[in-house]
Structure 1
């Protein structure tokens, strides 16, 4: 009897440890599921520079990439402000100790970037034993997280970003998928994550993109992969149109056309619908507004007229990605207007203006939604059919990176520092 009880306790301990390990990681931009949901039961509610900061450490250079976490390691990227050196950094989760700071790439004459961007904006992605970092045209690399050895590098994936790199890489099966969509021959490429070799490459159709002015071809979004009736689709809301690729081959399955450029906000998938952001829609040659589309992803070919379920264009953000909670989509406009929509119909439920401007995407954690402004001011709100503010907090510095949540704590990066907040 005691033997059986011991075995049962061991198995329960193993299962609990496995579950805890699963939720202790933050592997991609906007979380391990890339849906803006933190798999935590507790999250910080009150902090300042003086309160509830477990540790605060400086970060070399400048970058707007978000931190990723696996086990007891935090990884992020950074670069010199002039784009001549590109760094990767690793910190101990418990202490904030700098475990690695390495220059991976250099550039003698780097491309210019937009004044609001950085040379290290793409967020890394991580899995057991390996972390993958991407700086757009300046380089892509895989690093062993135990030895810190560089396992492979690619410096031949070129792109004229015009405004700097921003698309984050994602892992899927044996692939690392990266977007390099600039002013000429924009493309998406799937690399073998073990070797870095190209598995497939899909260039945007020349007959559609070549007639466009170069400025209207660029894009900065991060894709997602969904499964639709047994088909594995890579959803990529590029400039001018959204593409659904067969993720295993790169073949285009369907498209919708919305026009123009500079898509940044990441797609979402919920309850059988894909939600994509159009990037800037122009009027009188000026960026005027952005649209949010809901798409039935079961079609083939050009589905612009047949599979768009709704479109919304009032105070839709260009940069921050919305989050969906219990059938409600919460999005914060770059200038601070929060809108709650019914995700199935696109009908607005409420609006609330927050202070400041926003680049970071909202995150749902432990029952609340965290909205963090560029000035480091965080409004925490409870999801629901009315705006319900829970708390307000602030940190010093500029915050454009989306925070990570693990183990009941928040990891947030400013322009100068990395914080662990309890």
Structure 2
């Protein structure tokens, strides 16, 4: 899709991306994963050289790719979000050879997926939370977050935190069963993803920035 000078040859450049790229290890070397519009690319991060591409014919989402055991999990689509599980050990055009499995619907457009202890978690824009086997895509369990999601899920100390646009926080136990540990409500909704600093949880709502941690004894 590039001319000899490196410029796009058509409108709607395959390489245009809306998500943050991810650097992973591949056979002792680094590989940069970029989910572009209509294609996913693997680059050598030192040189920018393209190692492989996977064309999907859809549009990229804001969700960041994640990686597990040589498989990249990439969200695609805007009208109907899907998920591609792509083996990263290829070269050249791997569209027809390196797809491990896929979901045609029910994935996320905005929240990034999460890998915890060999399980893949999806938090969808409409508030579904789905736990999958990363090797096969088989569903382990499904639940609800109690609102719409833009912020990505966060795992800390074996707990998965979900903050909705409506301001509800749902805390799940990471694992093979759907177990809600607690729910809380903030004064305003969350659109930014939470973060962890030491033992503290950092949460930004539409109106405030919170540092949440257990009081010193």
Is 1:260 aligned to residue 51 of structure 2?
no
Matches within 5 A, 1:1-400: 206-207=8-9, 210-212=10-12, 219-280=17-78, 287=79, 289-400=80-191
The whole-number CA distance in structure 1 between the counterparts of 2:57 and 2:76 is: 7
The whole-number CA distance in structure 2 between the counterparts of 1:227 and 1:354 is: 33
The gaps in structure 1 that reach 5 residues or longer are 1-184, 187-201, 281-286
Structure 1 counterpart of 2:211: 420
Select the structure that is richer in helix.
1
- Choose 297-306 or 311-320, whichever is displaced more: 311-320
Structure 2 counterpart of 1:192: none
Match of 1:206, SS state, is: coil
The whole-number CA distance in structure 1 between the counterparts of 2:187 and 2:16 is: 33
Conservation of the 8 A alpha-carbon contact between 1:218 and 1:261: no
Residue deviations 1:143-201, cap 9 Å, x none? xxxxxxxxxxxxxxxxxxxxxxxxxxxxxxxxxxxxxxxxxx99xxxxxxxxxxxxxxx
Q: Greater Rg, structure 1 or structure 2?
A: 1
Structure showing greater relative contact order (alpha-carbon pairs closer than 8 Å, 6 or more residues apart): 1
Residue deviations 1:94-128, cap 9 Å, x none? xxxxxxxxxxxxxxxxxxxxxxxxxxxxxxxxxxx
Conservation of the 8 A alpha-carbon contact between 1:377 and 1:393: yes
The whole-number CA distance in structure 1 between the counterparts of 2:15 and 2:32 is: 19
The whole-number CA distance in structure 1 between the counterparts of 2:86 and 2:27 is: 15
C-alpha displacement of 1:231: 2.7
The whole-number CA distance in structure 1 between the counterparts of 2:24 and 2:40 is: 14
Conservation of the 8 A alpha-carbon contact between 1:259 and 1:278: no
Match of 2:149, SS state, is: coil
The whole-number CA distance in structure 2 between the counterparts of 1:365 and 1:334 is: 21
The whole-number CA distance in structure 2 between the counterparts of 1:293 and 1:316 is: 10
Sort the Cα spacing of 1:253 and 1:218 in 2 relative to 1 into closer, same or farther, 3 A.
closer
C-alpha displacement of 1:315: 1.4
User: What TM-score do you get using the length of structure 2 for normalisation?
Assistant: 0.90
The whole-number CA distance in structure 2 between the counterparts of 1:320 and 1:313 is: 17
The whole-number CA distance in structure 2 between the counterparts of 1:324 and 1:377 is: 22
Conservation of the 8 A alpha-carbon contact between 1:264 and 1:279: no
Residue deviations 1:218-276, cap 9 Å, x none? 53100011121133211000111001111011111101011232421101111221111
Number of equivalenced pairs: 211
Root-mean-square deviation over aligned CA pairs: 2.1
Conservation of the 8 A alpha-carbon contact between 2:169 and 2:184: yes
